[in-house]
Structure 1
């Protein structure tokens, strides 16, 4: 399906306007408002990668990226939650057919939150597993219909799809930035999960679905995770640069002094570079046939994009003076959001550089 057929990019504009209006509220409440989540669902983020057989779009990574950039310019937390809705749907598409049918029995817009780090325990039981434990950092989990929980089991970690009535949410999200994501914890106690609602982590990592030939379901995780995770921060940094420029022009009566001119030019160049490498990465992914070398390069480039974006945010914040440090400052919120989101494990250069070095024989 082409971008014009899904309408996600156009719908993201309306969702971004609402998210921007609610950004301060999301920051204070440490979660998005229900109307913003509803707008993200209505825009089509949850169904973006859902198999066509369940009413989804099986759409492109580049379209999602463009929509996330639009949201990020208004609210990084809304952009991040939209990213999680979309990519968690892609993860669920690797479940066996019977499991997919349960997750999307009410349609393709089921909201899914995923815990990527293994935690908890899973004991084998007749027909499946019994899960217990606590899982951290599930963005938008307060609004989720399902949770994908990662647990270490014999043979390697697996993801288990758990319905909303089988777990409880524990309020643990009290972080420096990205406060509106509501990335709280999930607690489950002796929850039975049948085999058809589980999928090995290695299957997602390799990206070779047995149930769908769509490119988005045949793409290795490393090829797309980093570029997508880098996108909300990039959108927020674009907005931060615009806000900083307006503030500086007001201070200097419309004429930036040379130091500010250099800051403006360098920030713009860094963000353009981050934009280009992430765009190329997802363009390559949408072509299909991603090799391990391509996946490793994409992950490497995403880490570089995150570093460039973070450097820009630091430079703008430092040059913003005392005004930028106020609690009410938009620059301060954007700076905190960018630092927090770019610290994600998928964007750590010490991890992605090792992956890349192995593909070139270093």
Structure 2
């Protein structure tokens, strides 16, 4: 695919990690179609990422990591998503949950979660809940105090927990004493998984509901507020997930359009294909620049990073859908066949816009910011 230089420079010391990610992605690409068809969690790829040391490298230095930059984070997510969106999504949720727990927990719990990540344990986010929608960070579930004073208990459910089947630890939110609270919770037998309601796209994320029955939320696992200059890895990296999918759509489109299917020239020679591809590619470039700018703001500890991330996710999600739709249009009937990668890419491209914050919700927020600025 045609590329242009980026103004965001990856530190030289972190460049080898991009090569590691590229090597892992090549192995992911070999199984993406089969994993989508089976809908099973590609756990071997996730374990390979952990074994490479990449998970640990994103930890803060004081937790035994290398404090890799956000600029590197978004390039890794983009690389993984281009090859295997489901792996990219589960990995981003995993590393985001682990990094958040290490950052926000009290020292003893922080050290524990960092050690468990280094040991290869899996982490998931248990934040979405029935009727929660885009307000997934503002839990409506009240957790009563435990009778023995050790914390609180949760009976209820969380939805769309990616990779939960393999999760050893959860970053979970509830409401305690009338206010929001986040906890680090170890998986135990008070939690269960009802039958899966399979998604259409990103099937291999295995996003499932998890049920809690009097699960203890220990007082010593209660998270504190994040540092004022901390940017959550998931929020910063989410746009890159859609960028990787959009790039794979452009690649599939190019391959399909360049193939000579009859006596005439290939579709790549048609004016309408060139024109529509040009517009989508330019939007993709713009969205990728927004992703990189958001990462740069996070690395600068700029307070505007979270607002920029909302704008970025909104645009990147829509660009992925446009690129996939164009690939489907150019691919024609063949793109609808199960053997075509385009039909999978098209389904995967829809997922980002549905995930909180959804595109309509984000657009309302961003539009409000724009319209409230003085003229």
Structure 2 length-normalised TM: 0.83
Match of 1:263 in 2: 276
Paired with 2:252 and 2:362, the residues of 1 have a C-alpha distance of 33
Query: Does the residue aligned with 2:175 lie in a helix, a strand or coil?
Result: strand
Is structure 2 residue 202 aligned with structure 1 residue 187? Answer: no
Contact 1:229/1:347 (<8 A) preserved: no
Equivalent residues of 2:239, 2:309 under 8 A apart: no
Distance 1:140 1:243, change over 3 A: same
Q: For residue 147 of structure 1, what is the aligned residue in structure 2?
A: 170
Once the two structures are overlaid, the 10-residue window that deviates more, 274-283 or 303-312, is: 303-312
**Conserved in 2, the CA contact under 8 Å of 1:120 and 1:151?**
yes
| 1:97 aligned residue | 107
- What residue in structure 2 maps to residue 278 of structure 1? 291
State the 4+ residue runs in structure 1 displaced beyond 4 angstroms: 224-227, 252-255, 358-362
Match of 2:311 among 300, 307, 321: 300
Shift of 1:9: 1.4
1:122 maps to 143
Counterparts of 2:309 and 2:114, CA distance in 1: 31
Please name the residue that 2:6 is paired with: none
- Report the Cα distance in structure 1 between the residues aligned to 2:183 and 2:305, rounded to whole angstroms: 29
Structure-2 separation of matches of 1:38 and 1:294: 31
Aligned match of 1:38 in 42, 47, 51? 47
In the alignment, structure 1 residue 54 sits paired with structure 2 residue 75: no
State whether residues 2 and 59 of structure 1, in contact with CA within 8 Å, keep that contact through their aligned partners in structure 2. no
Residue 214 of structure 1: aligned partner? none
8 A contact 1:119–1:134 mirrored in 2: no
Between the aligned partners of 1:58 and 1:147, the Cα distance in structure 2 is: 22
* 1: CA distance, partners of 2:362 / 2:110: 32
Give 5+ residue unaligned stretches, structure 2.
1-9, 129-138
User: How many angstroms apart in 1 are the aligned matches of 2:66 and 2:170?
Assistant: 21
- What is the deviation of 1:353? 4.3
RMSD value over aligned CA atoms?
2.5
Q: Measured at CA, do residues 350 and 121 of structure 1 come closer, stay the same or move farther in structure 2, by a change above 3 Å?
A: closer
On the 8 A contact 2:144/2:153 being kept in 1, the answer is yes
Structure 1, unaligned runs of 5 or more:
209-217
Partner of 2:300: 287
Helix, strand or coil: the match of 1:77?
A: helix
State the partner residue of 2:7. none
Cα shift readout 1:21-63 (whole Å, capped 9, x = no counterpart): 1212321332332321211212344334433333223221110
Alpha-carbon distance in 2 for matches of 1:341, 1:98: 35
Partners of 1:297 and 1:356 within 8 A in 2:
no
Q: Which of 305, 310, 328 matches 1:317?
A: 328
Contact 2:152 2:218 in 1 (8 A): yes
Rounded to whole Å, the distance in 1 between the matches of 2:34 and 2:185 is 30
The structure-2 alpha-carbon separation of the partners of 1:7 and 1:164, relative to structure 1 and needing over 3 Å to count, comes to farther
Structure 2 residue aligned with 1:88, among 79, 88, 97?
97
Matches within 5 A, 1:131-280: 131-166=154-189, 167-199=191-223, 203-204=225-226, 207-208=227-228, 218-221=229-232, 225-251=234-260, 253-254=265-266, 255-280=268-293
| Equivalent pair of 1:346/1:352 in contact (CA under 8 Å) | no
TM-score by length of 1: 0.86
Equivalent residue, structure 2, for 1:346:
357
Contact 1:55 1:107 in 2 (8 A): no
